[in-house]
Chain A
């Protein structure tokens, strides 16, 4: 059970589709879109969003700084009921 959930927002038009974020993601969250952006690049997106833990590894290796990262700590089920 994940204790944290994360999400990324990709600046689609600034993404150059280099795929470095994709291979960096520890949970294989990121994929490259089949569509292209205005420059013709297949841009990064969350293919498996539920796997994201907000570690920001993708964002800090992104050469173009196009990724913004969010993270929330989830309360445990038993904590809620107590």
Chain B
């Protein structure tokens, strides 16, 4: 069978969602941000809620998220996305509101806003991209940088005694009663992508039912910051990041999940 006979509209099985704008992403080759953006837009597209969804972009690599996601969005100051989302959601109770934040934004400068939005049980969804580094500013140490990991501000490796420990924000906020659903996934393999997408569907479902805050951490790569090829960075992520930031459901239906590893 000739390839021309396969590439026909009636045989289409996968195409980028139209909610992703038709422009080149500003991310480095192989960066998980692009995949996470697309999944989020696919979920909003498939749920048919574009008209009722408002996103909040952070400061960091995804500061221009609204240039790629073709939906109404607000750009927040560094770390303030959960407060901005709170303001939006309280004014539009019936709309879907999400924040999309990196680890520097959510787990360092925005710690207070994150914890209190979670604690109030705001009916919003937080998508948290954790790549253990400040990507946008050039690879500095993040609150989630692993023990011994080299960054531009920890050139000899993160030294826990003086630089503190990588923070597990996701486990931390899962303790809060206002938080209904918490999961940690990744987007580097087809299987991981499918799990993440399923989790996003669930998160928006939780929001629709007004059960509280839904929080999805996506452990991701930063091949430029980690100074690796994209493929190598994904391997390194599996071998190192996943040991500390273990993928899987953390809180489901308002109840903490007993640890079980997924392969």
A residues near B (Cβ < 8 Å) are: 5-7, 9, 13-14, 16-20, 23-24, 41, 46, 49, 54-57, 59-72, 74
Contact = CB atoms under 8 A, between A and B. Distances in A.
Interface string B31-65: 11111001000000000000000000000000000
A71 B229 contact: no
Interface string B7-20: 11001111110001
B194 to A, nearest CB: 7
Contacts of B193: 60-61
A72 B29 contact: no
A68 B6 contact: no
A49 B25 CA distance: 27
A40 B237 CA distance: 27
A64 B31 CA distance: 9
B166 interface: no
B137 interface: no
Contacts of B38: 65
B6 A5 contact: yes
B6 A19 contact: no
Interface centre among A14, A19, A63, A72 (most CB of B within 10 A): A63
Nearest to A57: B190
A61 B187 contact: yes
Interface of B: 1, 3, 5-8, 11-16, 20, 24-25, 27-35, 38, 187-190, 193-194, 229-231, 234
A7 B6 contact: yes
14 contacts: A55-B190, A61-B187, A63-B25, A63-B27, A63-B30, A63-B34, A66-B16, A67-B14, A68-B15, A68-B16, A69-B12, A71-B6, A72-B6, A72-B11
Given A24-B190, A60-B194, A63-B25, A18 B30 contact: yes
B13 A70 contact: yes
B31 A70 contact: no
Contact of B189 (A46, A61, A68): A61
Nearest to A69: B14
Given A61-B188, A65-B38, A70-B6, A23 B231 contact: yes
A24 B3 CA distance: 21
A49 B1 CA distance: 11
B7 A70 contact: yes
A65 B229 contact: no
